[in-house]
Amino acid sequence: MTQFTELGLAEPVLKAIAAEGYTKPTPIQEQAIPTLLEGRDLVGIAQTGTGKTAAFVLPLLSRLAANPGRPVSKTARILILAPTRELAAQIAESVRVYGSQMKLTTTIVVGGVKPGGQVRALARGVDVLVATPGRLLDHMETGAVKLSGTEAVVLDEADQMMDMGFLPAIRKVMKAIPTRRQTLLFSATMPKEIRSLANDFLNDPAEVTVATVSKPAEKIDQAVYMVKGDAKPRLLAELLSADDMDRAIVFTRTKHGADKVVRYLANEGLYAEAIHGNKSQNQRIRALDNFKKGKAPILVATDIAARGIDVDGVSHVVNMDMPNLPESYVHRIGRTARAGKSGIALSFVGNDERGYLRDIEKLIGRKIDRIELAEDMALDLSLPEEPGPHTKQSRGGGGGRGRGQGGGHRQGGQSQNRNRSGGGGGKGGYKGGGKPGGSRDGGDRSAARSESGGGGSRQGGGQKRRSKSTKSWSPVS
């Protein structure tokens, strides 16, 4: 097995990755780094979670280390284009980490924030500029940045940039960079538009392919819940209360849906934050930060905002709505089981979403395990007709909305009988396992909940109790 020290990376870069605890390169790093250090162009077909960011950042930083010098005002020596603000921020963070042993300036240029700060940073000249295409183009048009001195350019998640309509902007940007440059293109899929982008702008590129998008990370345990009627919200709350739910991302198809889920969960005593395109940049940063730090153990996201979310220890991904593009399913579930870890992906399939499930199964080439809800669960899980904590408290031993009872769904053919009287004490999460009387927020709802079976898995402050502390990546083997 190749070691990082054998790849030809510069000393400060090696020091930084050793400090990060990386011991061995991932397959894409092993294949891409030597080629990139030779100065060749490269097409990388890889999904996130494979270590592709380090695969391009490490050799590009080595290039800077070998040829230090202050960048000229209003120029960027290395340009990295990414589809979303989140991914751009993530990449910039990786550049800072891997470049921690070097004198390096890194700037992010993305939409959704005032341009003044970006203009000032660009005026000083930057070593590494990470940008989304639209805002970069704005700065090029006002003369805040010139790409005439750019030595290397990376197009990251090119297929997603295409989906977001950035191809014309990318072409304009590429034309502004001198042809004597190194060009890298990474994409999870290779539709013909991306292939032709590569043909037009890359010079005899090497091609590296690691696990394609149709093969979700092997360590993800996947299952689907066949959900009838409007049972989804309750099932979600039920699953998110499980003990092994350390940190979960819940996907909804719409921004409005994401906000609705956050409100519903809050009503259930589960603290979640939403991240989607209608949120301001600051709100998005804050939500992601709270999720990373574990202050918000649940993040509710739409597809666009979820790109580039790379958070340690996401134990579960829950698809509240099935994505209508099967590739999105693979991207979504790829938020868990990152860097060699395992994870669980659960999807709720409503009657009208069975077609989406079939498309996904066709793409990934296998059937996903079904979890059939027990007959009465469909009833028990239905939403109360009127909103509010005290409506419909007739089920269970002493009120509540049926939460805190024994598990109500079958998994892998094993039926767990729901304890309708609530005396069993289990709380009916994904893996079951009861916890006696959780005190939640001290309100009378929590009392009602304990009466109904004592399954509270919450803590004061309305936050979901987290059983484990934040974990950091262990090296990929």
Does 32 participate in binding ligand AMP (rule CB under 6 A)?
no
- Least separation in angstroms between residue 338's CB and ligand AMP is 5
Distance CA 448, CA 390 (A): 9
The answer to whether 283 touches 300, Cβ cutoff 8 Å, is no
- Least separation in angstroms between residue 394's CB and ligand AMP is 48
DSSP structure class, residue 253: S
Q: Which range binds ligand AMP by CB under 6 A, 362-370, 373-381, 433-441, 468-476?
A: 468-476
Does 22 participate in binding ligand AMP (rule CB under 6 A)?
yes
Record the tokens describing residue 91, joined without a space: 């990449």
Does 16 participate in binding ligand AMP (rule CB under 6 A)?
no
Residue 376 phi, psi dihedral angles, 5° rounding: -75, -15
Does 187 participate in binding ligand AMP (rule CB under 6 A)?
no
Distance CA 288, CA 310 (A): 10
Q: Which range binds ligand AMP by CB under 6 A, 45-53, 171-179, 182-190, 262-270?
A: 45-53
Q: Which range binds ligand AMP by CB under 6 A, 25-33, 177-185, 243-251, 366-374?
A: 25-33
Q: Which range binds ligand AMP by CB under 6 A, 43-51, 178-186, 203-211, 406-414?
A: 43-51
Distance CA 249, CA 300 (A): 6
Does 50 participate in binding ligand AMP (rule CB under 6 A)?
yes
Q: Dihedral through CA 27, CA 29, CA 35, CA 39, nearest 10?
A: 160
Distance CA 407, CA 418 (A): 5
Q: Which range binds ligand AMP by CB under 6 A, 52-60, 314-322, 323-331, 342-350?
A: 52-60
- Least separation in angstroms between residue 473's CB and ligand AMP is 5
Contacting residue, 7, 26, 158, 253, with ligand AMP by CB under 6 A? 26
Distance CA 292, CA 314 (A): 9
The residues, ordered by sequence, that sit 6+ positions from 325 with a Cβ below 8 Å of its Cβ are none
Does 48 participate in binding ligand AMP (rule CB under 6 A)?
yes
The residues, ordered by sequence, that sit 6+ positions from 379 with a Cβ below 8 Å of its Cβ are none
Residues 304-323 that bind ligand AMP (CB under 6 A): 310
Residue 186 phi, psi dihedral angles, 5° rounding: -115, 140
Interface residues with ligand AMP (CB under 6 A) are 22, 25-26, 29, 48-54, 310, 338-339, 473, 475-476
